[in-house]
Amino acid sequence: MEVANNWKDYEILDMANGEKLERWGDVILIRPDPQIIWKSKSFPKKWESANARYNRSSSGGGGWKYNKKMPENWQIKYKDLTFNIKPMGFKHTGLFPEQAVNWDWMISKIKNAKRDIKVLNLFAYTGGATVACSYAGASVCHVDSSKGMTTWAKENVASSGLEKRPIRFIVDDVVKFVNREIRRGNKYDAIIMDPPSYGRGTNGEVWKFEENIADLVEVCTKVLSDNPLFFLINSYTTGISSTVLEDILRLNIKKNGKFSHGEIGLPMRDSKLILPCGIYGKWES
């Protein structure tokens, strides 16, 4: 497992009863997590310090309960990158801190390439990978079907001082956009995708991970440059093995390079516990 253990502004303080106690800068949040199936808290007193807790509703969805005054939004840093955080309607904060292991890997790959790199970031959300790749010196095409998430991504780029870097922000259905890029003859040296388990595009297009991921990877290989750097698939879809992601890449990428797969996770402070958070499959030259 790849563990994101280089954070200073984020940490898991405790985990129990399907919840994690997290510090985001100076703000302490309690959020649900299905992986945490054990009952006993390691540090019961720490839970009293929480500013807010996300409670699931038995009828679906849920909401935040605020225990202490806290800002509506704030910033946290990861090394030289700065991200804007705010509690959202469905337990999220706009950032997946475990992705820091992938940011570090991308930054290293791009910097060591010693050439101009064009990155295509699909299902790009609030732009964690966009910020990382731009910081490393790449030009980035950021694609997401949500106008709100794309606006948030622009804010993260600006907060990290990268607003003058070459970044294209595209609000569109990912599959339609890639097919247009094929027709236009545009090519990319690196592709990142973080597809949802289920989603809808800008015009109501339905996305289902199990049904659509293999076809999307196949289509994306048609916009890979002749000398590509990497192809990374992230997933949080339950029931899918990281081996499957590597298998899909092996079936579609016929260039020399290294294939790998695995889990990403977050450590708990003052503990040997690791929270598994997602999976990846990747190819790299």
199 and 233 share a domain?
yes
165 and 48 share a domain?
no
What CA–CA distances, in Å, run from 8 to 23, 78, 81, 118? 10, 7, 12, 30
Instruction: Quote the CA–CA distance of 128 and 95 in Å, as a whole number.
Output: 7
In a domain, 202, yes or no: yes
Q: What integer pLDDT is reported at residue 208 of this predicted model?
A: 87
Q: For residue 81, give the CATH number of its domain.
A: 2.60.40.1180
Query: Of 50, 85, 120, which one is at a domain's C-terminal end?
Result: 85
207 and 104 share a domain?
yes
Structural domains counted in the chain: 2
158 and 102 share a domain?
yes
133 and 154 share a domain?
yes
Tens digit of each residue's pLDDT (9 = 90 or more) over 117-157: 999 999 999 999 999 999 999 999 999 999 999 999 999 99
149 and 233 share a domain?
yes
Instruction: Quote the CA–CA distance of 141 and 23 in Å, as a whole number.
Output: 31
In a domain, 90, yes or no: no
Residue 58 — very low, low, confident or very high, per pLDDT cuts 50/70/90?
confident
Instruction: Quote the CA–CA distance of 23 and 11 in Å, as a whole number.
Output: 5
Say how far residue 20 (Cα) sits from the centre of its chain: 18
Nearby residues of 192 by Cβ (< 8 Å), 6 or more positions away: 106, 119, 120, 121, 122, 124, 129, 133, 232, 234
In a domain, 14, yes or no: yes
In a domain, 258, yes or no: yes
In a domain, 92, yes or no: no
Q: Which amino acid is at 134?
A: S
80 and 194 share a domain?
no
Instruction: Quote the CA–CA distance of 110 and 98 in Å, as a whole number.
Output: 20
Q: For residue 216, give the CATH number of its domain.
A: 3.40.50.150
In a domain, 167, yes or no: yes
201 and 262 share a domain?
yes
109 and 160 share a domain?
yes
Query: Of 85, 119, 142, which one is at a domain's C-terminal end?
Result: 85
CA-based end-to-end distance of the chain: 21
CB 171 within 8 A of CB 144: yes
76 and 109 share a domain?
no
Instruction: Quote the CA–CA distance of 124 and 202 in Å, as a whole number.
Output: 14
Tens digit of each residue's pLDDT (9 = 90 or more) over 154-170: 999 999 999 999 999 99
Query: Of 30, 64, 85, which one is at a domain's C-terminal end?
Result: 85
Domain that holds residue 61: 2-85
Instruction: Quote the CA–CA distance of 185 and 17 in Å, as a whole number.
Output: 51
Token reading at 170: 């595209």
77 and 171 share a domain?
no
In a domain, 179, yes or no: yes
Dihedral angle over CA of 187, 261, 100, 174, nearest 10: 40
Residue 94 — very low, low, confident or very high, per pLDDT cuts 50/70/90?
very high
In a domain, 65, yes or no: yes
Share of the chain above pLDDT 90, in %: 91
Token reading at 53: 């807790």
Q: Across residues 48-57, what is the average pLDDT? A: 94
122 and 201 share a domain?
yes
Residue 20 — very low, low, confident or very high, per pLDDT cuts 50/70/90?
very high
Tens digit of each residue's pLDDT (9 = 90 or more) over 203-216: 777 878 988 999 99
Longest CA span, the chain: 59
